[in-house]
Amino acid sequence: MDIITVIKKIPYFDNIDEVVLKNKSGFKLLKFKNGELIKAQGEEIDEVFIIVDGKVVAEYVSESGKSLELDILEPYDIVAPGFIYTSEPFYPVNIISEGNARILAIEKDTFLEILQQNKKLFLKFLNEIGDKFHILSQKLFLLSTKTLKEKVAYVLLKKATSSKDIYLKINKEKLSRFLGCARPALSRVFAEFEKEGIIEREGRNIRILKIEKLKQLINEL
C-alpha cells in the first residue's frame, strides 16, 4: 500500500484532492513494536505524528521517576497537538507503543500548508487540541482528589452522561493505570460501591443505582 493510499484513509485528509497530496513532500510511514519508545519526554517536536493503526501511551515521568499514564492514543489521533506549533515545541510526555503501531509522520511546514489551504481540516485540528486539553483537565482533577473512591466516582459520572448505564471500553488494568493505582485497589472500590448499592455490575456493564452518592463523593451536589 503506497503512502498516499494510507493518508487518504485518515479522516483528516478524506476531502483533500489526491493530486494535492502527491504534490506535497514530507510524508513518511513509521513502524513501532510493542513497548518501543517513540518519543521521549522533553524531545523536540519536529514532525506531526498521526496514529494510523495500533495504540500508543502518553506517559508522564516526574523528576523522582514516578510515572503516570495520561492518555491512550488510538488510530487517527494526533500526538501532542497542542504543543506542535508553540514557542517551545517539546513533548510533555513519553510516547510509547502499546502493541505494534504505525504512525504517519508529516513535516510541520507541510502540515501547516495543508491546514492553511483547507478550512475543514483546520477546524478538525482545533477540535483535536480542545479535546486533548479537556482530557488533561480531567486528569488534573483526578490528581487533585484525595481518595481512589473519589476518582472512580468522577470517572463513572463522566461516562454516565445522560444515561445511568455504562459500558467500560477499557479493562480494569488500563483503567487502574489511567487512575494511577494498583488493579486490586480499583477492584476493591468497585466491590465497595456494589456492596453499598451504588452500582451493579455485569462484566464491563455498570448500572448506577445511586447517582447522588457518587456526586456527594466529589462534592458536586
Instruction: Using CA atoms of 121, 122, 128, 130 in order, give the dihedral in degrees to the nearest 10.
Output: -150
Q: What's the CATH code of the domain at 184?
A: 1.10.10.10
Question: How high is the pLDDT of residue 26?
Answer: 86
The predicted model gives 194-210 an average pLDDT of 87
Same domain, 42 and 83: yes
Q: For residues 165-200, b (16+ Cβ closer than 10 Å) or e, as one string? A: ebebeeeeebbbbbbbbeeeebeebbeebeeeebbe
- Residue 192 — pLDDT band, cuts 50, 70, 90? very high
- Residue 204 — pLDDT band, cuts 50, 70, 90? confident
What's the chain's average pLDDT? 85
Q: What's the CATH code of the domain at 19?
A: 2.60.120.10
User: Across-strand partners of 101?
Assistant: 32
Same domain, 13 and 74: yes
- The total domain count for the chain is 2
Same domain, 119 and 186: no
Q: Check: CB of residue 118 under 8 Å from CB of residue 124.
A: no
Same domain, 45 and 110: yes
Domain membership of residue 155 as a residue range: 146-217
Higher pLDDT, 141 or 73: 73
**Half-sphere exposure (Cβ direction) of 83: Cα atoms closer than 13 Å:** 18
Q: Which three cell numbers stand for residue 168?
A: 467500560
Same domain, 137 and 213: no
User: Which amino acid, one-letter code, is at 6?
Assistant: V
Question: How high is the pLDDT of residue 220?
Answer: 52
Same domain, 54 and 114: yes
pLDDT single digits (tens) 135-168:
777 777 666 667 889 888 888 887 776 566 776 7
Question: How high is the pLDDT of residue 221?
Answer: 38
pLDDT at residue 188 greater than cutoff 90? yes
Same domain, 153 and 58: no
Same domain, 17 and 106: yes
28 three-class SS: strand
Instruction: Return left, alpha or beta for 102; rule: phi > 0 is left, psi -120 to 50 is alpha, else beta.
Output: beta
Domain final position from 99, 121, 143: 143
Model confidence pTM above 0.85:
no
Same domain, 159 and 132: no
Same domain, 112 and 22: yes
**Beta carbons within 8 Å of 15's beta carbon, 6+ residues apart:** 118, 120, 121
Same domain, 13 and 104: yes
Domain final position from 143, 158, 187: 143
Same domain, 29 and 98: yes
Domain final position from 143, 170, 185: 143
Query: Distances in Å between the alpha carbon of 218 and those of 43, 49, 139?
Result: 36, 36, 14
